[in-house]
Chains A and B, each alone.
Chain A
Amino acid sequence: MRQGGRVGLGLVLPLALAIGWEIAIDTGLVSGRLLPPPSRIGATLLDLAASGDLLMHVQATLIRVGLGFLWGAAVGILAGGLVATLPTLRWLLDPSLQALRAVPSLAWVPLFILWFGILETPKVLLIAVGVFFPVYVGVSGAIASVDRKLIEVGRIFRLSRFGLAKRILLPAVLPATLVGLRTGLGLGFLFVVAAELMGASEGLGYLLVDGQQFGKPDQIVAAIIAFAAAGKLADLVLMTLTRPLTRWQDTERESL
C-alpha cells in the first residue's frame, strides 16, 4: 500500500505536465507545432503499432542491442576473468585496454564506417564496444577484490582449484558482474541510437532520423518513448533473470 502511494506520487509530475500541455494547446495558448500534445503522440504511437511498423523497428533495435550485448558481455567476462587471474596477461593487456577505455566510444564511429561500411557489422560492433568496458572493468575488479579471507576458508576445507572457482570465486564475483552487465546493457541502448543515427533503414533510431527529416516531432517523441520502454523492459528482464543468483543480497533491499 505504501509502495503504491509512492509510485502514485512519482506519477504526479509527468501527468500534470502532460495534462497542462494538452490544455495549453487545446485553448490555443501555444501552437504545439514543435512539441505535439500527448494525445497526438499517443495517436502516432497507436498508428505505428497498428501498422506493424513499431514492432518491426523495435525488433530491429532489440536484435542489434542483443547481439552487441552478447558479444560485448562474453568478451568482457572472458577478458576480465583472464586478466584478473593471470598477472602476466594483466601487465600485458590492461594498460592498453584502459587506454582504449579512455576513448569516447562514439569516436570509433567514423573508423567503423570506413572499415565495415554502414550495414549491421559496425552497428553491432559499436554496441559491443560500449558493453565490453563496464563488463570488463566489473569482472576484473570483482575478481581482484575477492576477500582473501574467504579463499582461506576454501583452502582450509581443501577445495581444488576448480572447487575454489566454483564455490567461492564465482559466487563472490557474481554481484559485481551483474552490475557490470546492467551498466553495459544501458550503454548498449545508448550506443544503438548512435549506431542507427549513422544510417539505417529500420530501427527506432531510423524513426528518429526520419521524423527529423520530414518534420514529424510526434514520431520523434513516439520513438523516444519506445526507446525508453524497450530499455526499461530489457533491464527488467535482465534483473528478473538474475535475481535468484543474488537473492542473498537482495532481501534486505526488498524489505526496506
Chain B
Amino acid sequence: MTGETLHHAPGPSLRSLTQEIPVLIVDDLSKTYADGTQALAGINLSVHPGEIVALVGGSGCGKTTLLRLIAGLDQASGGCVQVDGETIREPHPDVGVVFQEARLLPWLDVADNVGFGLAGLTGFERRGRVVGALERIGLSEHADRWPRELSGGQQQRVAIARAFVTNPRVLLLDEPFSALDAFTRRDLHDQLLNLWGEAKPTILLVTHDVGEAVTLADRVVVMRPRPGRLDETIVIGPARPRDPVAAHHENAVRRVMAALDRSLRPAAAHQPLAPEDRATWW
C-alpha cells in the first residue's frame, strides 16, 4: 500500500510545472457501501491549480464513485477531500461537475440552462456571461432552443458551458464524451480546451478512452478495481496543443495501455514486469 501511495506523489516534472500548493487534496479516502462492498480504499491524490488530470480504469474500479465523493454528492467512509483547504462534505461553490449525460433541464431553453448556476447574479450580469459562454461553444444561434431540439453533442456542450460559466476552481468531468461519436468527441475536446484556456480551472477527468486521456491531460492516473485504488501515474506533460498522430503521443497511449493492462491483473501478479517477463507471462 505504501509503495502505491508513493506512486502518486507528483514527480519532479510536475513540481516544476507549478510551484503553487495543490487546490485539490484527496487524503486516504475510502468508501464502503452499506452492503459491505468496498468501492474505494486509501485514495491519495493532489492536483495543482490549472492541472488537468485524467482518471482511467476498467469498469467498476470506482472512478465515478471517487468523483462523486470529491463533488460532495456522496459521503466518504474514511479520509477526506479538501478544495482550497476546505473539507468537502457537500457540493462546494468552487467545484463544478459535468456528468456523463448532459442533464439539462428540459423546461429551460439553452440560455437559461447555461445560466442555471448564476442565480445569484443580476439579470444583466447573468445575460452577459451566458451570451459570452454561448459564443465560445458556438451555440449563440441556439440560445432560445429547447434542449431536446439539440443533438447529443450540442447538449453536452451546453452542459460544459453551464459548468464553466460559474468559474469553478475545480471542474469534475465524469465521462462527459462517452456517449458521443468520435468526430463529435474530438470537436468537444478542442472546445473544452478553449474554455479551459481562459481561467484554467483544475480539471479531473474520468474517462475510459485512453486516447482522450492522453490528448487532454497533464498526467493520467490509472485506477485498479476491487477495491478501487490509484495505481500508476503516467506523466504526459503540459505541452499543448497535442498532435494525436505524433510519435510521443502514441508512445504515451501505449504506456497508459500497458499500465491499464497491469492494473487489471490479480494482485499477486501485480509487479511491474520487464518486457521479456511479460512475454513469458502471456
> Does B248 sit within 8 A of A, measured CB to CB?
no
Do most interface residues of chain B lie in helix, strand or loop, or is the interface mixed?
loop
Say whether, besides A171-B107, A248-B106, A251-B146, A153 and B116 are in contact (CB < 8 Å): yes
Which B residues are in CB contact (< 8 Å) with A168?
Answer: 105
| Interface hits, B79-124 → A, CB 8 Å | 90-91, 93, 96-97, 99, 101, 103, 105-109, 116-117, 119
Which B residues are in CB contact (< 8 Å) with A248?
Answer: 106-109, 146
Contact with B along A153-172 (1 / 0, CB 8 A): 10111100001000110011
Which A residues are in CB contact (< 8 Å) with B119?
Answer: 157, 163, 167
| Interface hits, A134-165 → B, CB 8 Å | 149-150, 152-153, 155-158, 163
- Shortest Cβ distance from residue B150 to the other chain A in the assembled complex, whole angstroms: 13
- Shortest Cβ distance from residue A179 to the other chain B in the assembled complex, whole angstroms: 15
- Shortest Cβ distance from residue B49 to the other chain A in the assembled complex, whole angstroms: 21
A contacts with B, residue count (CB < 8 A): 18
> Does B256 sit within 8 A of A, measured CB to CB?
no
Which B residues are in CB contact (< 8 Å) with A252?
Answer: 148
Which A residues are in CB contact (< 8 Å) with B90?
Answer: 155, 158
Which B residues are in CB contact (< 8 Å) with A158?
Answer: 90-91, 93
Which B residues are in CB contact (< 8 Å) with A149?
Answer: 99, 101, 103
- Shortest Cβ distance from residue B170 to the other chain A in the assembled complex, whole angstroms: 12
A200 to B91, CA, bound (A): 61
- The 8 tightest CB contacts between A and B, nearest first, are A157-B117, A171-B107, A248-B107, A156-B97, A156-B91, A248-B146, A153-B103, A149-B103
A174 to B107, CA, bound (A): 10
> Does B179 sit within 8 A of A, measured CB to CB?
no
Say whether, besides A157-B116, A251-B146, A152 and B73 are in contact (CB < 8 Å): yes
- Shortest Cβ distance from residue B257 to the other chain A in the assembled complex, whole angstroms: 32
A150 to B108, CA, bound (A): 12
* Closest residue of A by beta carbon distance from B168: A156
Which A residues are in CB contact (< 8 Å) with B71?
Answer: 156
Which A residues are in CB contact (< 8 Å) with B108?
Answer: 248
A150 to B166, CA, bound (A): 18
A131 to B62, CA, bound (A): 48
Q: List 27 A-B contacts (CB under 8 A).
A: A149-B99, A149-B101, A149-B103, A150-B105, A152-B73, A152-B99, A152-B103, A153-B99, A153-B103, A153-B116, A155-B90, A156-B71, A156-B91, A156-B97, A156-B117, A157-B91, A157-B117, A157-B166, A158-B91, A158-B93, A163-B119, A167-B116, A171-B105, A171-B107, A172-B107, A248-B106, A248-B108
A163 to B73, CA, bound (A): 17
